[in-house]
Amino acid sequence: MPADNRRMKQQAYHAPRVVGNLALRQEAAAPELRPDIEDEARRRKAEIEKHVMANRLQTRVYSRAQVLIMAAALTLVLAIGAFYLLQLSSYRANRLRVSSLEKQYEELKKDNALLTNICESYIDYEGILEYARSAGMSAPGKQQIVTYQRSNTEYVEKGGEIPNE
């Protein structure tokens, strides 16, 4: 195993390396052999890094105007969301109130119907008929009943628009 490791290290040490657009085989004395190529590669690498840094500084992910527009849009979306939630809660509260009032209304209708039945149960129709007969009143005969039709179904004023037949 140690011999294999040494051989791999020697191969890695002698492996070609890329300088600029040239592939060089690196050996112990290689850096001193071609200093002009290495200097050119260093100079080009430094120039490229300089351009990359300049581009990074000049290029922002978003400009100030874009950030302001996005902030305004986000604020608008949040405001609309808050308004929607307020309206939704108001709607739900109103629905609960309507439901409560409908229940009250139904209870009042039942109570009124019950009270109407109670009041009508105390009316003595036979007693009213006897009292009317004792006062000289009688049911009208068929010849005494006059019917007429009217085009306007509104209330009739006293003494107005009644046929004189």
pLDDT tens digits, one per residue of 32-42: 546 677 788 88
CB 164 within 8 A of CB 148: no
- In terms of residue numbers, what domain contains 20? 1-59
- Indicate whether 51 belongs to any domain: yes
50 in any annotated domain: yes
Sign of CA dihedral 104, 107, 113, 114: negative
Separation of alpha carbons 156 and 163, rounded Å: 12
In a domain, 79, yes or no: no
Q: What is the chain's mean pLDDT, rounded? A: 79
| pLDDT at 20 > cutoff 70 | no
pLDDT tens digits for 57-104? 777 677 788 889 999 999 999 999 999 999 999 999 999 999 999 999
Whether residue 33 contacts residue 22, with contact meaning beta carbons closer than 8 Å, is answered with: no
The answer to the question of residue 90 being in a domain is: no
Q: Distance of CA 5 to CAs 11, 21, 27, 76, 95, Å?
A: 10, 30, 18, 65, 82
Q: Is residue 142 part of a domain?
A: no
7: in domain: yes
Token output for 160? 């107005």
Q: Is residue 153 part of a domain?
A: no
What pLDDT is stored for residue 36 in this prediction? 73
Write out the E strands in the chain. Answer: 16-19, 22-25
DSSP 17: E
Residue 125 in any domain: the answer is: no
What tokens appear for 51 in the block?
């351009």
- Domain count of the fold of the chain: 1
